[in-house]
Amino acid sequence: MKKTDVAIVGASAAGLMAAVTLRKRNPEKSVTVIRHVVKTPVPCGIPYIYGTLKRVEKNIIPDENFIKMGVDIKYMEVNAVDRENKSISFVDGTSLSYDKLILSSGSKPFVPPLPGVDQENVFVIEKDPLKLQKLHTALESAKNVVVVGGGFIGVEMAEQIALMAGKEAMKESRITVSLIEMLPHCLMMACEEEFCIQAENELTKLGVTVKTNSGVKEIAGQGKVTSVRLADGTELETDLVLVSIGAVPNIDLANQCGLSADPRKGILVDEYMQTQDPDILAAGDCASKTSFITGKTSGIRLASVACSEGMIAASNLYDETKRRNLGALGAFATKVGSQSIAAAGLTSKAAADEGIEVVIGEATTPNRHPASLPDCITEMKAKLLFQKDNGKIVGGHILGGESSADMVNAIAVAIQTGATAEELATMQYATHPLLTASPLFYHIMLAAENGAIQLRKAAKQKKLSREAA
């Protein structure tokens, strides 16, 4: 039987990050990363295969850099883990013994129990180049596409399918793309309502029909889909349905080897990414999560979270000083048409649902200075949520130019370090005429100052009421 010091099941965000971390920190340890797909697609790049890159092969994480670092990458399905003998076995009958095991087996698309969902031409997004190619081939001849689910994957897919069809075909309705979302708006789980509406407007401009507040009741057809029936009775003729309503943790191996796992939460891990087996850790979409803000179970499954967890798991294997996972924050960015939308932490709805009272500081200013500069977005908007009782930032939302993602990353750091409105208002930021807003009108600073003023007013009011009582 072959041997490795560390076996990692899964060669995507969490697994590859774990492998690289180990090779850097413990170069004396051998690392074998296993995947059951021929190549690893860039998971977040998948939508862009269809309208922008045009080919699945252009969206692959190259193995070379990892191999150069001494990571052994194996293409084979693991069908069992033998915890007692510390070995894993593969579908071809071979096995590999390990000293430590990291499970980073990711997630699978959630397939709802809808009538007709198992028909030909009903697709889900699987992170497998062969299946992504199959979807590409089917989309090439599809005339009426229905995307079910208006989360970020559904929105990005609808946009890219419209681009793949081409402006003329969409304009002349030779090809139609419909996006069906059950909630009042697309992207609502992560973004503020007004930003969601902007994203929907961008999709509409591209010719996508956006139907919100709409549930799918049935996918009709005789083995091959012909229409989608909505709960309100509407029937949409279609020859391709793409279901993208979320992902569930892949806990197959954990179940097989008796590790505690929950079909919704994932493989149960502690804050060190440790399972109940001292030699097995889990990271990424397959592992259980808590929210950074509320400490409650979280369903946030993102590549950024997976990478962070992969790094924590790998560094905790042999180091005395353990790294702690403080929880999933949910920092997210997307681009729809000409709008970039980014969010970190709570939305105002999520804050209200959690009973967290917030004040909201907003700023809408140009993203260049002077605003007469070419390509200036005159109405780039920042919306920051501060907890009313302590002034700490718990959410941030940016709409506008491509710098939205990096600005929200700064906000994500601020949330994770517990920065307050007062601190964010008086911090120093890099500004440049061609790259950012003016230092007089820098979005985060201004929105934080607006928040700080409200917080002071609220504190003063509270004091007065106390004195009066």
Size of the site for ligand FAD (CB under 6 A): 34
- 125 vs 206 by CB, closer to ligand FAD: 125
- Near ligand FAD by CB under 6 A, which window of 28-36, 314-322, 378-386, 402-410? 28-36
Per the CB < 8 A criterion, the answer to whether 341 and 193 are in contact is: no
- One character per residue 301-340, x = contact with ligand FAD (rule: CB under 6 A): xxxx-x----------------------------------
Site for ligand FAD in 260-289 (CB under 6 A): 284-285
Handedness of CA 27, 22, 30, 304 (dihedral sign): negative
Site for ligand FAD in 221-250 (CB under 6 A): 250
Site for ligand FAD in 38-57 (CB under 6 A): 40, 43-44, 46-47
Closest distance of CB 197 from ligand FAD, Å: 21
Separation between Cα atoms, residue 38 and residue 75, nearest integer Å = 6
Closest distance of CB 195 from ligand FAD, Å: 16
- 100 vs 301 by CB, closer to ligand FAD: 301
Residue nearest to ligand FAD (CB): 106
Tokens of 222: 């005789």
Q: Is 34 in the site for ligand FAD (CB under 6 A)?
A: yes
User: CB under 8 Å to 353, separation ≥6 — which residues?
Assistant: none
Q: What angle do CA 338, 340, 346 make, to 5 degrees?
A: 150
To the nearest 5 percent, what fractions of the chain are helix, strand and coil? 35, 30, 40
- One character per residue 68-107, x = contact with ligand FAD (rule: CB under 6 A): ---------xx-------------------------xxxx
Among 23, 127, 211, 383, contact with ligand FAD (rule: CB under 6 A): 127
Q: Phi-psi region for residue 148, left (φ > 0), alpha (ψ -120 to 50) or beta?
A: beta
Site for ligand FAD in 426-465 (CB under 6 A): none
Q: Is 14 in the site for ligand FAD (CB under 6 A)?
A: yes
Among 23, 35, 335, 443, contact with ligand FAD (rule: CB under 6 A): 35
User: CB under 8 Å to 100, separation ≥6 — which residues?
Assistant: 5, 6, 7, 279, 280, 281, 317
Closest distance of CB 159 from ligand FAD, Å: 12
Q: 349, 343, 421: which is closest to 386 by C-alpha?
A: 421
Closest distance of CB 187 from ligand FAD, Å: 12
Closest distance of CB 286 from ligand FAD, Å: 6
Q: Which residue has the tokens 């917030």?
A: 358
- 86 vs 289 by CB, closer to ligand FAD: 289
Can you point out the beta strands (E) in 351-446?
358-365, 380-387, 393-400
Closest distance of CB 45 from ligand FAD, Å: 8
Separation between Cα atoms, residue 114 and residue 96, nearest integer Å = 40
Q: What pairing do the DSSP bridges indicate for beta strands 87-90 and 235-237?
A: unpaired
Among 6, 8, 11, 311, contact with ligand FAD (rule: CB under 6 A): 11
- 69 vs 76 by CB, closer to ligand FAD: 76
Per the CB < 8 A criterion, the answer to whether 458 and 361 are in contact is: no
Question: What DSSP designation does 240 have?
Answer: E
- 304 vs 339 by CB, closer to ligand FAD: 304
Site for ligand FAD in 143-182 (CB under 6 A): 153
Closest distance of CB 100 from ligand FAD, Å: 17
- 169 vs 405 by CB, closer to ligand FAD: 405
Can you point out the beta strands (E) in 111-166?
122-124, 144-148
Q: Phi-psi region for residue 106, left (φ > 0), alpha (ψ -120 to 50) or beta?
A: left
Secondary structure element (H or E) that encloses residue 176, with its range: strand 176-180
Handedness of CA 292, 293, 295, 300 (dihedral sign): negative
- 9 vs 203 by CB, closer to ligand FAD: 9
Binding site residues, ligand FAD, CB under 6 A: 9-15, 34-37, 40, 43-44, 46-47, 77-78, 104-107, 125, 127, 153, 250, 253, 284-285, 301-304, 306
